[in-house]
Every structure is written in structure tokens, then in C-alpha cells.
Amino acid sequence: MQQQNESYRDLANSLKSVSTLLELERQSPLHQDILTVCNHLVNPSFRIAVFGPFNHGKSTLLNAMLGNRTLPIDLIPTTGAAITVKYGSDVRTRIMLVDGTEIYRSGTEVLQQFAILDGNRQMRKDVASVEVFCPHPFLATGVEFIDLPGTNDREEQDNLVREQLLSVDLVVQLLDARKLMTLGERENLRDWLLDRGIKTVIFVANFLNLLEPEEQKQVQNRLLFVAESFRADLPPGFSNLYRVDALPALRARLKGDVAAASSSGLVAFEAALQNIAGILQPNRGSVRLPRVQAIASQIQLSLKAKIDPLVNEIKVFNNKQNAKFEIKEKAANLINQGFAKSIKELSDWLALSNLLAKYQADGAVALAENNFKAWQVNTLKKDLTELQLTVVKWLYQAYEFFQEERPEDLLIPLPSEPQVILPPKPSNTDDLSEPGSIAVGGGIGWLLGGPVGAAVVGSISYLLNKNIQQQDDKLANESYHQQVAKVCIAAIEDYLSQLSNQGLAILAEYELKAEKVIRFTVSQETPEITKKREDLQRLQNGFNQFLRELEKVKLSGNYQPYLEIPKPQNTNRVYIPKRAKVQTSSAKNTAKNTQTRVESPPPKTAPRPQEVDVKFRNWELDEEIARMKAEMRSPGSAKNQSNKAPNPPKTQAEKDKIAQAYSILGLKPSASFAEVKQTYRTLVKKWHPDLFVNQPQMQKQAHEKMRLVNEAYKILSSLWI
């Protein structure tokens, strides 16, 4: 029993908590019902109320059971408050006023002042509760009687009655046999009792003695029909219908006439009432919990009406935040990938072995021909600038997307022009016919235009192709042209070595700085959303706790507990994509005395398919980043293009263009965007004009084919925008 009482207290506390969460108005019906049920749950007394319209004899019936005129009786509606009759050693009355004043008097005369309707048939506003104490043996068992104001008189009285009915364990509904079960009584039975889980109801017919015998039989049959149609939740073997002539019963009790009291129906009714109370009293939960169940359904609906919109709002916010993060994360990874590739391309270009292979021969020739500056600007610097811009492009993409730190431009300066010191001329040789041979700045002016210059250029090509860089003892056997050629080759090697060392060092430092650009900060949620998230958590916790308390007392919650909605991942932190490991070339491979065999620059050939694939992939990265930027403006509505249905054409001309585009790509009209994209990739690799640089006729055909393919792809791509 103690454990049960604790469960009821916990349930009552939970009811009060959810009432607070609902922020109900104090005078609202639901708020009043919750308070009434909470008080009733923990009340140890068994409460019996007499309920019915005004002037049906409710107070008379109670006085008859108590054996005296304890309660006010009049021919007009008199009871203006809910009067609770409890056990006491003598008859006393206690009245509590709204301001906290207590009025405690012997007898019940004070009821005339505080517990009846005034001349305007209004209840007093200052009365909080009215209690009467009587030395009756039935009350001594822990039973309380409640005399309720009559219904169907004033709205204020009806509200009071409706509220009090939730706090009683057994309802005695008094019926007037002369006008049995009016429309108002039937509505009250449904709305105030049945729909609120109050089913321990006994019907008592009054005034049957005022009818003729024949009428009494007819009314009795109608009463039986009423009783049978209402399935009262009473112990087995007890009827839910009794006849009591209240006024004759009271007179018989006041006179001590046992036979008259018995013939009035009072004795049989009292016996049934005491037996029913004796059975229900030990297990009050079976009577009270159905009322909680009825109110719980209202509470849960009201809580869900507050919770569900917040859940949807928070989920929408979370989805948008997650979508933004996923877009930014993908963009960061794509940009980082492109940046890493461009860094590797530039790093590989700066590798000394690659620089020598690509530029040493032309550089040495340009140096020998006094054309170094032009070659440096038009060839070397042009290639370096293009590679640098490719690297920087990715950082500006990142800055435009993430607005973190503005990137610096990548500037790898070219070394100073090489200074050449010529070997001493042989005294007896015909190699040089021009007098006054000197080294001039960045070139060898005296070699220009003559046959000797051509010989030196030829020696450069010869030496590099044959890789004649042997021991110094062979130097004496070489022609002077070859010695000069070797000086030019060594000068260019030193020049390119400086470029490699300096460029790789600058590139390594630049790569570290890029981490401050290719990153993004996940913004913290707004105070408004944080407040809503806290409100939602509080409401969900209250809802779930209420469900647990209902389960403890074996009541169904009808709903599943709410699961906590996690915050978006990575909130309020900086996301830095994992740094790609680029196998950059070593900047220390600068040994001047170890010449590597370097091939002459190969003739221009068609690009390999891998190079075309790289170009296409870079284009794809740019296209995808541009699409993600558009999605960032409305992440909640962004959809996966691969799964999205294409927009239908509006005109016949559009239908024809689309059908032709599918035909050019060799696809069915049902193809997805992913299939369109993959087919386009395949055709680009197959028909890129650069693949046919040495085949003019095929290159012309490829240009036309790619024009058609590009137009078809553009038309079909627009369907998914």
C-alpha cells in the first residue's frame, strides 16, 4: 500500500509538472481538472458525492442518511458551495475564505451565512471551502460526503460541480421521478462523468412516492432501462439503481421510525452504499486512475501540440545545418584535392631533373645565341606563371566559398640571368675567327650570326644527346666549341638548380599558408534556436517522465517516448580538410658536377588520354563547386541531381531538341543525370581535338563532334537545374 501511495504521489507530481509545461491559464478547465485529480490521487478518504439538478432533494437525502438537519434545506436552490461532510466527535463547521481566514463554529448555523445562495442566487466569491464534521459511524470509516450545488441553474455553479466530480470516488446521481433523465441530465452524464472516466455511479430516484401507482410502474420500467443502458463500474452483485423518497426518509429518521425509513427505500440504499464503499475503499486506484487516464489523453495531446512543431522546426534547422556542412565539407575536400594536385604539378615541374629535361637544351641555346631574356619570358616564365595561377585559383575558390583568410598570390621569382666565363682560347686553332671574344652579360655576343655560333649550338645539342660529360682529362681532346657549349650547359643547369631550390622552398611555405584559406568555421546556432532546443528538451523530458509515471500505475500512455534530437555535428568548430600528402621533389638535388643525361625536347605530340582526363576532372571540380555554391543559398531545397527527376519540356520544340540531344549522346530518354554526365565524360576522352594534333582531317572531325556533344550535354544538363 505504501508503494502504491508513493506511485500516486509521483504521478500527481508529474501531472503538476506537465501542467506547468503547458503554461495553462489558472482558470482553464484542464488546469483545474489536473489540480483536482492530483489532490484526489493522494487523498486517503473515500468520497461520495450527491449530484443532480437543483431542487432534486440532494441535501435532503444526505440529511436523511446523517439522521438530522445538518445541511441547509429549502424549496429553492440553496447550496451555494461544495459542502464536505467528514467524521467528527461533535457537529462543527469550518469555513476557509479565499484570503486564508478560517471560520470554525460549533453546529451548522454558520452555513446559512457562507454556504447558501444569496438573494440573487449567486455563490459567495470569498469562500474557498466548507467542511462539516459529524459523529456518524459511516463517516468514521474514512468516508466523506459531498453535497454539491444544483446544476442547470447558473454556469458558475455548473463549473464548480463539474470540477468537484473528479474528486469523488462514488457518484450518487439523484433523479426526479416526475421528469426522468432530462436532456440536460443525459448530457451531464456523458460529458461530466463518462467522458472523464467516472463510471462508479449509482442512480437514486426521488419523488416516486408523489406519483400514482400506475405511473410509478411506468417510471420504474423507464428507470430500469436507464440503469441497464449505463454500464456502471460497480462491484459484482450490486445494482446501480435505487429508490429513495428523500423527504419521507428524513422525517422517519428524525422521528426514529425505522419502518417508515425502510419503506422509503433509505435503509436498502444505505446498506448498498456502505457495502460498495467497503469493497472499493481498499483499492481506490481502480476508481481514481480512469479519471487520470482521461485527463492524461488531453495532456498528451496538448503537449504534442507544443512539442511536434518544435520538433519539426529543429529538424528542419538541423537538416539545413547538416546540409550546409556537408556541402562545405565536400567543397573543402574537392578544393583541397584540386589544390594538392596543382601543388604536385608545380612541384614536379620544379624538380631539377624535370627542369633540366625540359629546359636545359633550349636555355643553353638561348644563352649561346644571346636570346636568353626572350626565352626566359616567353617560355620559362610563361610556363611557371600558368602553373602558379592554377595553384592560386584553388585558394581563391576557397576564399570565395568560405570567406576565411584572403589568400596571398604565389610568386616564385626567376633567378638572375646566368653569368658565363669562357675558357681561354687556344693559341693555334681555327675554331674562332672573330677577334675580341668576351662574355657579355647573359649571352655570348660574339657567337651570334657566325659559323662558330652554329658550331657551339650544334655542340650543345651533341653533348646533351650523347651525354658527353666525362672526366676532366678528356677536356683537352674536345674542341673549343664543345668547351664553350659545356660552359653554357653548366650555366643553365646552375640557373635551373637555383630556380628549383628557391621555388620548392617557397612552394612548401605557401602550402602551409593554404591551411588558413581552405577551411571553414561551422557557425554556432542562433540564441533563438538554442532557446527553442532547450524548450523542446524540457517538454520532451516532461512528456517522457509522464509516460513513465503512467506505466508505473499500469495506465496506457497511448504514445511512444520522444527521442532526443541531437545537435548538428561539428557545430561551432573549424573544419580543416585532411592535408593531402604530395610527393614533392627534393630541393637539394643540386650537384653541379654531376650532369644527368637529358633528352632533347620531344616534338609536339598529341596529349595522352590521362592528360585529357585530368583536364576534364578539373572542369568537373569547377562545375561541382559552382553547383554547391548555388546549393548553399538554399540548402534545405537542394536535391541530389542524380536522383532528381528531370524537368518536363513545355513545348514541342523543346521536346524535339531534348530527343535529339539524347540521340547525339546515344542515350535513352529515361537516362539519369549521372548517366548523361558519364557518357559525356566518355565522349570527351574519345573525341577531344587535342588527341588528333598530327591528323588534321581527324582533328576537324573531332571539333565538329565535340561541338555537337557539348550542345547536347548543355541541353540535357538544363533539365536537372
pLDDT band at 1 (very low <50, low <70, confident <90, very high): low
Give the pLDDT score at 458: 67
CA–CA gap between residue 517 and residue 410 (Å, rounded)? 13
Higher pLDDT, residue 650 or 692 = 692
Any idea which residue has 539519369 for its cell? 672
Once rounded to an integer, what is the mean pLDDT over residues 288-292?
89
Q: What is the DSSP string of 184-239?
A: HHHHHIIIIIGGGT---EEEEEESGGGS-HHHHHHHHHHHHHHHHHS-----TT--
Give the pLDDT score at 141: 94
C-alpha cell of residue 349: 615541374
pLDDT band at 311 (very low <50, low <70, confident <90, very high): very high
Instruction: Give the tens place of pLDDT for each residue, 329-339.
Output: 888 898 998 89
Q: Is residue 721's pLDDT more than 70?
A: no
Instruction: Give the tens place of pLDDT for each residue, 426-445.
Output: 665 444 443 333 343 334 44
Beta bridge partners of 606: none
C-alpha cell of residue 619: 572542369
Instruction: Give the tens place of pLDDT for each residue, 168-203.
Output: 999 999 999 888 778 888 888 888 888 888 989 999
To the nearest whole percent, how much of the chain has pLDDT over 90?
A: 32
CA–CA gap between residue 352 and residue 357 (Å, rounded)? 8
Q: Is residue 30's pLDDT more than 80?
A: yes
Higher pLDDT, residue 243 or 688 = 243
Q: Is residue 606's pLDDT more than 70?
A: no
Q: Is residue 541's pLDDT more than 90?
A: yes
Give the pLDDT score at 631: 62
> 43-286 and 638-721: same fold?
no
Once rounded to an integer, what is the mean pLDDT over residues 320-342?
88
Q: Is residue 586's pLDDT more than 60?
A: no
Direct distance between the N- and C-terminal alpha carbons of the chain, in angstroms, rounded to an integer: 69
Tell if the pTM clears 0.85, that is, is over it.
Answer: no
CA dihedral (316, 321, 327, 328) in degrees, to 10, reads 170
Which distant-in-sequence residues (6+ apart) come within 8 Å of 558 by Cβ? Answer: 297, 300
Once rounded to an integer, what is the mean pLDDT over residues 601-609?
47
Burial (0-12, 13-18, 19+ Cβ within 10 Å), 33: buried
Higher pLDDT, residue 683 or 599 = 683
Give the pLDDT score at 78: 57
Q: Is residue 598's pLDDT more than 50?
A: no
Q: Is residue 228's pLDDT more than 70?
A: yes
pLDDT band at 628 (very low <50, low <70, confident <90, very high): low
Compute the Cα dihedral for 511, 512, 515, 517 and give only its sign: negative
Q: How is domain 43-286 classified at the CATH fold level?
A: Rossmann fold (3.40.50)
Give the pLDDT score at 603: 42
DSSP 8-state assignment for residue 648: P
Ramachandran angles phi, psi of 151, nearest 5°: -90, 175
Give the pLDDT score at 339: 93
Do residues 685 and 609 make contact, with C-beta atoms less than 8 angstroms apart?
A: yes
Instruction: Give the tens place of pLDDT for each residue, 379-401.
Output: 999 999 999 999 999 999 899 88
Within 10 Å of residue 324's Cβ, how many Cβ atoms?
Answer: 19
User: Which of 174, 168, 161 lies closest to 81, judged by CA?
Assistant: 161
Do residues 543 and 303 make contact, with C-beta atoms less than 8 angstroms apart?
A: yes
Q: Is residue 60's pLDDT more than 70?
A: yes
Give the pLDDT score at 471: 41
Which distant-in-sequence residues (6+ apart) come within 8 Å of 703 by Cβ? Answer: 689
DSSP 8-state assignment for residue 73: -
Ramachandran angles phi, psi of 426, nearest 5°: -70, 145
C-alpha cell of residue 398: 576557397
Give the pLDDT score at 524: 79
Do residues 219 and 181 make contact, with C-beta atoms less than 8 angstroms apart?
A: no
Instruction: Give the tens place of pLDDT for each residue, 100-141.
Output: 899 999 988 888 888 777 666 666 788 888 999 999 999 999
pLDDT band at 506 (very low <50, low <70, confident <90, very high): very high
- Where in the chain are the domains? 43-286, 319-525+567-602, 638-721
Span 638-721 CATH architecture = Orthogonal Bundle (1.10)
CA–CA gap between residue 276 and residue 284 (Å, rounded)? 12
C-alpha cell of residue 703: 571539333
CA–CA gap between residue 576 and residue 517 (Å, rounded)? 9
Mean pLDDT value across the chain: 81
Q: Is residue 504's pLDDT more than 80?
A: yes
Burial (0-12, 13-18, 19+ Cβ within 10 Å), 579: middle
pLDDT band at 696 (very low <50, low <70, confident <90, very high): confident
Any idea which residue has 452524464 for its cell? 189
Max mean pLDDT range (68-77, 279-288, 493-502, 665-674): 493-502
User: Which of 401, 393, 395, 390 lies closest to 626, judged by CA?
Assistant: 401
Give the pLDDT score at 540: 93
Higher pLDDT, residue 252 or 616 = 252
Give the pLDDT score at 587: 37
Q: Is residue 250's pLDDT more than 60?
A: yes
